[in-house]
Structure 1
Amino acid sequence: MPRRYKRKEGVRPRIVSWTTEALQNAFDEMDKNIMGINKISRQFGIPSRTLRRRYAAKNKTKLTLGKHPIFGFENEKRLVKHILKLGEAGFPPDRRSIRMLAYQFAEKLKLKHKFDHESQRAGNEWCKSFIERNPELAIRQAEGLSVARAKGLSREEVNNFYELLAKVMIDNGLSDKPERIFNMDESGIQLNNKPGKVIAKKGAKVVNSVTSAEKGETMTIIACCNAIGNFLPPAVIIKGVNKKTEFEDGLPPGSKVYMNKKSAYINTEIFYKWLTEHFIPLKPQGKVLLILDGHSSHSTAPDMLQAAADNDIILLCLPSHTTSVLQPLDRSVFGPLKTYFNHETNQFMRMHPNKKISRYNAGALIRNAWLRATTPANALGGFRGSGIYPLDPNALPDTTFIISDIGLSRQNAGESRGPDEGDPQTSRILPQTSSLSYHHPELDNTSETVELCVPVEAERRAQTPLPQTSSSTCCQLNPVNERENITGLDQNKTPPNSILASVHRESPSILIDPEVLEDISIVDIGDDTIEQFLAGIEEKETPSKILVQASPIPQIPLTMAKRTKQSADILNSKEKIKEKKNMAEKKNKRVKPKLDKSNKTETTKEKRKFKSTNKKTKEGSDKENDTTDSDSEETPTTTYYKTRGKKTQGLPVKKTKRDNQESPKDTDDNYYCIECFDSYQHTKSKSDWIRCISCQKWLHEICTLFRNYCSRCGKLKALSNST
């Protein structure tokens, strides 16, 4: 089915040349009854049949020619409004989601449509036409926003940062000195080329592009610039221990390379080196302001904070989860840097297809990308866009806080409700102390049924009659058939059936939501009648509620994690340095006992083990000498020992009368099985070890057929018993 109708050649196009203003003037002339309808039609350029039809229906709405949308103009506007609400909440739908939502919407409204019932989605052509009919919608590339940033990017945190920034700049005389306002940040790059969009043969199934590796090595670049567009040479962090001079080949002059044993990310030690070896020698004399994020490497080391304070450096921390909009380097430098670096890597692979991008040849690639990205225009744009310099608390648009504003408004609405009140999104009727008439101009031409979510009162009015007064408010309740879709031609018609009732000003009146008032024109509301009316339409659904049920608007709670959220603060103030020192001392006190326990030498353990073994052996020998006669008269028992914690296979471990008897491991001889010659120290058998009561030698329990003897002694015992 074609998406757009193409008119045949030679056919005169039908164009609606008249305007709504001309139609209104024609209606005025027809009301005067002076000229005929044909003359009025020629005077205002409106077809006579169109004029007669619209005048009879009092319809002044100008619609498009041809077939109208499946949902109608009003329901399509509701669909557009719902899509915009999803985008504002941080969950903009894609084309597939809109097609599924359109199918469910049409099914709920019981409209005739040609959507695919098998896939339960509208067609691609309908989606394209829908976007073209509504110019406020467009296909855009969405940017990922983490839940933490959505929660943390609030107006309150940003305003507190601007207030602290203004105070620091005024107190230290930096308001008119942009060359002393710096921003520092780090970003990672991958030593690999990413193929983008290319030109290839039309219809090709697969288009391959050679890359340096599946996943390249990660390197971190530390960048720093001031508010007049001057950049410090970059510093590069590489994973490893031994630094080689080849790693600095090709880097911009003055660049530094730092090695990190665990990873290529920044830590407290590297940041301290960068601050003392790189930033302090290049900074201007006097006080400077260094704006950075609240990473632990920037804010936990007392020595680093003290070094910054001693060198007139004010460390201003950005609030958590706001660096994407408040950090100048994130806004305008790192994006172009990574784009240009990707261009350089692609060009390197084309020029050197047999080489691999590594830490030895990455310096030249970083230099070329650095020179193209670190321009004064980019730096000035970052400081201006974030509102840092020139100081502008209103630099960020309102769309930046739209998600947090929605969550905050819902949270405040929930706190303001009482324990017996319902959700504000589902509560349509609330008791008021005085009558109030509500008019919503956007919904004058909208007609839909009503749903009641909250009862009018906790007790029925019939049980507590109210006094009657002469003053009342009049309106008319028009029940609407849920299957009808009223168009502009029928909007001004008066329904034949109307319900009249009266509501009294002395009794608690009812504030009805604008969506409920869509079907109420002129009413004399009464207490009993309004209850009956609302009870009759309680289970009916409106198009707006159908959209919410089919595609609910997600809510992001503003509750943060248990970990303390970092707010804007001066990191190297005297109070902060003292606090960090106290925390470091407490940590050292807790860690020192653990280190002492873990540093016990093997000699100490062996000494303790040797003493306990000697003690047991001595006690066992003393008891054996004292009870030799008594033991010889008793029935001999077999000694069982588990093999170094290994479990027995179905045989219980028996206790002996000699609890302190030595094990095979404690004896100097006979430490192997006399049957299989398996050593006790290296045995792999799970069987228990036993000691022959005749020869006192050790063996596995499964290596003999005699319960208390080895094979040799058992046979001798059997022969002696037979004779």
Structure 2
Amino acid sequence: MSPRGKAVMGKTIRGFAYQLAKEYGKSFPESWTTNGMAGENWFMGFRKRHSQLSIRTPEATSLARLYNSYNFEPHNIWNADESGFTTVQTPAKIIAQKGAKQVGSITSGERGTLVTICLAINAIGHSIPPFFIFPRKRYKDHFIRDGPIGSKGVGNTSGCIASNEKNVLLILDNHSSHCSISVINYCRSNGIVILTLPPHCSHKLQPLDKAVYGPLKKFYNGAIDTWMRNHVGQQFQIYDIPGVLKNEIPRAVTPNNILNGFLACGIFPLNPNIFTEQDYICLTQNLTVTQNNDSDLSILLNENVPDDIDEPYHDIREGDEWLKCTMCLEWAHSKCANYDNYFTCPYCID
């Protein structure tokens, strides 16, 4: 795989070994299930059985080399990604009296329920209808009754994601679900070449994040504001999300936005020099971390952190601090995160 620019890390191989062991009904230690991958001892044995393999430091492989290997045409270059939409919107700014300490705006609740949607776009400005993932064990067709024409849906308790004449390039983020055995086998059988992006780079390298999801979430928040004003006393439910997105997706998923997204990421037309040295500088934040009586670490951003937050919005892993987005609940490294009051990731910022 490495000659094609698909570097495989040790943890990836251990993860594949665990998936294959489950698929073929092989016995394995309980620790494999706990960790979601094979153990280090298995990996050492794997290396001994395959002496032709070694651990190497990879060389940078450009996207241009990948293009030249497969000769992708623009209509066969696709980007797919998922994003969460909550039943509680971020209220738009309003006019208020100067000096007022508290200014309120009606929302459907204090904390929302997340529905994930997946979109796919290609380099000539085309898109496919959205795919909805509802946080329900049993999916019903009426969930997307008012949704965009052609949309599909599925139920999942977590609410999260999972034959061609020519090869198709599918650009995805680095989520583990995109690199499972079943996904790889399906893509291999259907002429789909998967290109996964490095961690914490999708806001720069993924067209959907660059030019589509930002406007979509801005339109979505405004639409819920209008919905709340027109439905006084009613609560916005997850089943209302498809109906709202039916009107807002055509406003955000436009050929112009899609083409600009591929252009801004340097994917098509291919531009290896799209990024400057400034883009590779990691942002630093002055973060204050304290230890409380429960041995849980808390981050003191400022006095405006909501009192009703009951989930951990930061964590310490291997000595580094991570922040969780208060809207989509995705994690980001503290040195790469921008925050205002409390952390909101770039995908959820208007």
**RCO higher in structure (CA 8 A, sep ≥6):** 2
CA distance in 1, matches of 2:233, 2:152: 29
Partner of 1:198: 94
- Identify the residue that residue 71 of structure 2 maps to in structure 1: 173
User: Residues 451-466 of structure 1: matches in 2 within 5 Å?
Assistant: none
Which residues of 2 match residues 506-655 of structure 1 at below 5 A? none
Question: Offset of 1:346 from its aligned partner?
Answer: 0.3
Q: Residue 287 of structure 1: which of 161, 167, 174 is its match?
A: 167
Is 1:316 matched up with 2:212?
no
Q: Which amino acid aligns with 1:363?
A: P
Work out whether residues 184 and 290 of structure 1, in 8 Å CA contact, stay in contact via their aligned partners in 2.
Answer: yes
CA separation of 1:294 and 1:201: change in aligned 2, threshold 3 A: closer
Distance 1:251 1:197 in 2: 28
Cα deviation for residue 561 of structure 1 reads 6.2
State the structure with more CA Rg: 1
Matched residue, 2:40? none
Distance 1:206 1:303 in 2: 52
Match of 1:296 among 141, 155, 176: 176
Aligned amino acid, residue 65 of structure 2:
K
- CA deviations 1:690-723 (Å, max 9, x no partner) are xxxxxxxxxxxxxxxxxxxxxxxxxxxxxxxxxx
For 1:333, the equivalent position in structure 2 comes to 212
Q: Supply the distance in 2 between the matched residues of 1:242 and 1:310 (Cα, whole angstroms).
A: 30
CA distance in 2, matches of 1:181, 1:257: 24
Q: Between Structure 1 and Structure 2, which shows a larger proportion of strand residues? A: 2
Task: Report the counterpart of residue 342 of structure 1 in structure 2.
Answer: 221
Amino acid at match of 2:159: A
Which of 100, 103, 117 aligns to 1:207? It is 103
8 A Cα contact 1:292 1:315, kept in partner: yes
The answer (yes or no) to whether the contact 1:344–1:365 under 8 Å persists in 2 is yes
Shift in alpha-carbon separation, 1:160–1:376, aligned structure 2, 3 A: farther
Runs of 5+ consecutive residues of structure 2 not aligned to the other structure = 1-56, 284-316, 320-350
Q: What are the residue-to-residue correspondences of 1:81-480 with 2, within 5 Å?
A: 160=60, 163=62, 165-174=63-72, 177-261=73-157, 263-266=158-161, 271=162, 285-300=165-180, 302-403=181-282
Q: TM-score, normalised by structure 1?
A: 0.30
Task: Identify the range of structure 1 (206-215 vs 337-346) with the bigger mean alpha-carbon deviation.
Answer: 206-215
* Cα separation, 2, equivalents of 1:295 and 1:208: 37
- Shift in CA distance, 168/363, structure 1 to aligned 2, threshold 3 Å: same
**Alignment match, 2:5:** none
For 1:189 and 1:371, the matched residues in 2 are separated by: 16
Equivalences, count? 230
Answer whether contact 2:108 2:235 (CA < 8 A) is retained: yes
Amino acid in structure 2 at the alignment position of 1:316: L
Please give the alpha-carbon distance, in whole angstroms, between the structure 1 residues aligned to 2:125 and 2:228: 32
State the secondary structure of the residue aligned to 1:345: helix
Distance 2:183 2:218 in 1: 33
Which letter maps to 1:234?
Answer: P
C-alpha displacement of 1:322: 1.6
What secondary structure does 1:220 align onto? strand
Please say if residues 336 and 373 of structure 1, whose CA atoms lie closer than 8 Å, have aligned partners that are also in contact: yes
> How far, CA to CA, are the matches of 2:199 and 2:102 in structure 1?
43
Match of 2:249, SS?
A: helix
**Compared CA separation, residues 294 and 244, structure 1 to 2 (3 A):** same
Cα-to-partner distance string for 1:297-353 (whole Å, 9 max, x where unaligned): 0102x2321111111111111122221211111111111111110011000001111
| Alpha-carbon separation, structure 2, partners of 1:321 and 1:255 | 29
Q: Whose helix proportion is higher, 1 or 2?
A: 1
TM-score scaled by structure 2?
0.62
- What is the DSSP-based 3-state SS (H/G/I as helix, E as strand, rest coil) of the residue aligned with 2:132? strand
Q: What secondary structure, in the 3-state scheme, does the structure 2 residue paired with 1:182 have?
A: strand
CA distance in structure 1 between the partners assigned to 2:243 and 2:136 by the alignment: 20
Give the Cα–Cα distance (whole angstroms) in 2 for the partners of residues 168 and 292 of structure 1: 15
- 8 Å CA contact 1:331–1:382 kept in 2: the answer is yes
1:316 aligned counterpart, secondary structure: strand
Q: Which residue of 1 aligns with 2:325?
A: none
- Hey, what's the Cα distance between the residues in 2 that align with 1:322 and 1:561? 21
Query: Cα offset for 1:205?
Result: 4.2
Inter-CA distance 202–322: structure 2 relative to 1 (3 Å threshold): closer
Distance in structure 1 (CA, Å) of the matches to 2:219 and 2:266: 26
Give yes or no for contact 1:328–1:382 (8 Å, CA) kept in 2: yes
Deviation track 1:5-48 (CA, whole Å, cap 9, x = no partner) reads xxxxxxxxxxxxxxxxxxxxxxxxxxxxxxxxxxxxxxxxxxxx
Matched-pair contact (CA < 8 Å) for 1:293–1:317: yes
RMSD, aligned CA:
2.3
Alpha-carbon contact 1:249-1:361 (below 8 Å) kept: no
